[in-house]
Structure 1
């Protein structure tokens, strides 16, 4: 089995471009959540979102083009024969919305296959790959799939690209579900009211260790474990007992061949909704018990970036292992009882080689990835 390396990372979020800037602003406790101006929120239960600054569009281009260009600039000259896995729940949803409002026929360009082909062109890849649409666990599953392909020897290099937009279509849907908070979200706080939407673009280049060494790529982290499970409970609500997430974590621990006591920290999904946060804490306590490590969530800073959420959080997790530090959970001022002592609104020091990142989504989907740090 080939050891799997994350060799390069590129990010564009509401806290700026690049992982260095993102990391520093997370440590400062900054938040990209602000009142929305992209469309009117008059008919919705919230007016907040975490949008990327200075996105540009035109009649022939989507906001996704602007994100893609900014991500690709950070990651030039990747191997042209790398496989591509795109992770997005809605793709170029802004073009779809505009087309529907005009009453025009839907252009082929709003489908996922052309979107994946566009990503391939931006990065100079010979194959267009495919899009993984697995709700809010999309990019976590994409990383897991990429790692499995490399570990098995099927390929040597995989580019995972994930991006989703704050659109009125999605915003109105979450508003109708009463899932949005009327204030910036407060993950794991006892007085949490719901989630805040965000947007992001993320690229992760995964390689076999031998390929990375041959190409002179410096490992950022190793992907050593992954797990995916479905609780088959409800279309939008998680199983209260966390059974799906528990199974996904157990799979990841088994794959990584480590004990719960070896996990130094957890990057949780932490949407700020009442039931998701409670489910996660239930699952974490069930698996880790007295060895529950420090945990945090970043959606109080970045909003919920849908299919891109897991990819951004895995990028942050790699830096956490390097720095032996996890950012604070912005908005968590009075932690849920099941997480007290492990959650903090300020950065926490950690000690260890492994970090678990988890995401859960509509349809009962749960996914986890375990990263191992790079020895100094």
Structure 2
């Protein structure tokens, strides 16, 4: 097997829990977080459901003990919570003791606030402090400042594969010797921009999303943040650190097919999975479970299913499920929170259920795991495929 990267900490906030333990309990008990919109003033209220975190921005500020005089927007607040949990989980006392960086990802950035005042900032001078919070890079810098991190900070925004690419970049920085430790992941808040944008694409369902079901109608958008702490094996040995799991493989590819649609044969997904296996040194038969991208859109699930069949062969696809029926599709945060779920699967030898599934897709013979299942797991694949054809796969292995 190729060089592995140790995962020593993880943190998460989503619609099914404000930390790792709450998320794990919800996954075990089939408690989803898809609900009516409460925090956003939109004409889509009552028409669609989302994976909304039922905490206001002020409640998040209070939770983080931030000064009232701040310009921190929701995406960053969520990222701070998850990144801080990951650092604490890794038992890091001095974050700058080793060469440490932060690779964060987002697509929404500060839009949840700036979209409200874009045309009228001159009328609301007290809101002008949020202008600098609009861009994606600002959220990463604020998270780094909150963690008191003085090292490298970078931001990735590749739509729904963003956090996977952040995790991948962190691993490469450790392998190259550039850094010893990297906090990696993604964060995205719900906003009117994304709600209206996905609605215009006609890929939102008016009910609950049903991944890999023949009657699937579209996705539920969600908001979340998920971060991991990656460390070199040298640091792990020196500090005698507990390892949660290893990042043993990763792959990124682009199917160059369409701005928002996946290719019919899943070329990008196929290449990403193939590369992750190659880097890990594992064989396809070694994969015990796949946390699929599984957005419940007609195009994505068909494309991903075909890619799975191309990689593994007919009647040989490992057991798989999509956890997006729990949380909704959290965009740039998706691969971050699903990395946490993949590690929880490895730690507890559990496959979390693909909720809402009823009927197998007519195009192929693939059925996700629909009930909580205990199974010895050694290696888990996690897929994340973004707009623009940017496809990424992570491969996690048991510590």
Smaller-chain TM-score bracket: over 0.9
Match of 2:204 in 1: 180
The CA deviation string for residues 133-192 of structure 1, in whole angstroms up to 9 with x for no partner, is 011000011111111221232221001141001111110000111010010111111111
Does the 8 Å CA contact 2:76/2:187 hold for their aligned counterparts?
A: no
Mapped to 2, the partners of 1:3 and 1:278 lie a distance apart of 32
Does the 8 Å CA contact 1:354/1:371 hold for their aligned counterparts?
A: yes
Does the 8 Å CA contact 2:31/2:326 hold for their aligned counterparts?
A: yes
Report the number of matched residues.
374
Residue 98 of structure 2 corresponds to residue 97 of structure 1: no
C-alpha deviation, 1:94, in angstroms: 1.1
Pairing partner for 2:95 from 79, 104, 111: 79
Mapped to 1, the partners of 2:352 and 2:377 lie a distance apart of 16
Residue 166 of structure 2 corresponds to residue 142 of structure 1: yes
Residue 135 of structure 2 corresponds to residue 111 of structure 1: yes
Mapped to 2, the partners of 1:79 and 1:227 lie a distance apart of 28
Structure 2 residue ranges without an equivalent (≥5): 59-67, 123-127
Match of 2:125 in 1: none
Mapped to 2, the partners of 1:99 and 1:68 lie a distance apart of 23
Mapped to 1, the partners of 2:257 and 2:287 lie a distance apart of 28
Match of 2:244 in 1: 220
Match of 1:19 in 2: 20
The CA deviation string for residues 219-245 of structure 1, in whole angstroms up to 9 with x for no partner, is 111011111000000001100100111
| TM-score normalised by the chain length of structure 1 | 0.94
The alignment partner of 1:137 has SS state of helix
Match of 1:307 in 2: 332
The CA deviation string for residues 19-67 of structure 1, in whole angstroms up to 9 with x for no partner, is 1221121121111000112234435894210111213248844223432
Match of 1:190 in 2: 214
Mapped to 2, the partners of 1:116 and 1:43 lie a distance apart of 30
Mapped to 1, the partners of 2:176 and 2:200 lie a distance apart of 43
Does the 8 Å CA contact 1:281/1:338 hold for their aligned counterparts?
A: no
The alignment partner of 1:291 has SS state of coil
Moved more, 290-299 or 6-15: 290-299
Match of 1:162 in 2: 186
Does the 8 Å CA contact 2:188/2:331 hold for their aligned counterparts?
A: yes
Change (3 A) 1:340 1:220: farther
Does the 8 Å CA contact 1:223/1:369 hold for their aligned counterparts?
A: yes
Mapped to 1, the partners of 2:119 and 2:45 lie a distance apart of 19
Match of 1:66 in 2: 77
Match of 2:147 in 1: 123
Does the 8 Å CA contact 1:226/1:367 hold for their aligned counterparts?
A: yes
C-alpha deviation, 1:288, in angstroms: 0.4
| TM-score normalised by the chain length of structure 2 | 0.88
C-alpha deviation, 1:113, in angstroms: 2.8
Does the 8 Å CA contact 1:260/1:291 hold for their aligned counterparts?
A: no
The alignment partner of 1:162 has SS state of strand
Change (3 A) 1:235 1:265: same
Match of 1:8 in 2: 9
Please give the residue correspondences for 1:253-332 in structure 2 after superposition, counting only pairs within 5 Å. Answer: 253-289=277-313, 290-332=315-357
Moved more, 241-250 or 327-336: 327-336
Mapped to 2, the partners of 1:72 and 1:369 lie a distance apart of 19
Mapped to 1, the partners of 2:366 and 2:136 lie a distance apart of 43
C-alpha deviation, 1:3, in angstroms: 3.0
The alignment partner of 1:184 has SS state of coil
Match of 1:368 in 2: 393
Structure 1 residue ranges without an equivalent (≥5): none
Mapped to 1, the partners of 2:372 and 2:278 lie a distance apart of 29
Please give the residue correspondences for 1:43-62 in structure 2 after superposition, counting only pairs within 5 Å. Answer: 46-57=47-58, 60-62=71-73
Mapped to 2, the partners of 1:141 and 1:56 lie a distance apart of 27
The alignment partner of 1:346 has SS state of coil
Does the 8 Å CA contact 2:7/2:246 hold for their aligned counterparts?
A: yes
